[in-house]
């Protein structure tokens, strides 16, 4: 038995699956509840289900952390000036 995160692997392509989310309506239109899919496989399924091709925005989820001048995330709650 492995302690690995079962959601760390995409069930469709077998590739790495980072922690991410999308609105449930879009998810349910493209895939099915309980599926584990990486962003690329989700987008492919979404295009197949909707016919919609789009550029997707990738933004960090809250709590937001800024990136400092050295390319490192700032501590939670810190605001860059």
Binding site for Zn ion (CB under 5 A): 10, 12-13, 15, 38, 41
Minimum distance from CB of 11 to Zn ion (Å)?
8
Q: Under DSSP, is residue 67 helix (H, G, I), strand (E, B) or coil? A: strand
* Rounded Cα–Cα distance for residues 7 and 36 (Å): 6
Minimum distance from CB of 31 to Zn ion (Å)?
11
Closer to Zn ion by CB, 30 or 41: give it. 41
Closer to Zn ion by CB, 14 or 73: give it. 14
Closer to Zn ion by CB, 10 or 31: give it. 10
By CB atoms closer than 10 A (0-12, 13-18, 19+), residue 57 is exposed
* Rounded Cα–Cα distance for residues 45 and 39 (Å): 10
Minimum distance from CB of 61 to Zn ion (Å)?
20
């Amino acid at each position: 038995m492995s302690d690995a995160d079962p959601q760390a692997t995409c069930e469709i392509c077998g590739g790495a699956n980072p922690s991410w989310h999308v609105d449930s309506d879009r998810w349910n239109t493209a895939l099915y509840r309980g599926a584990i899919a990486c962003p690329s496989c989700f987008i492919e399924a979404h295009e197949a289900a909707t016919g919609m091709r789009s550029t997707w925005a990738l933004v960090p989820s809250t709590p937001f952390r800024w990136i400092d001048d050295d390319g490192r995330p700032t501590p939670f709650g810190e605001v860059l000036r």
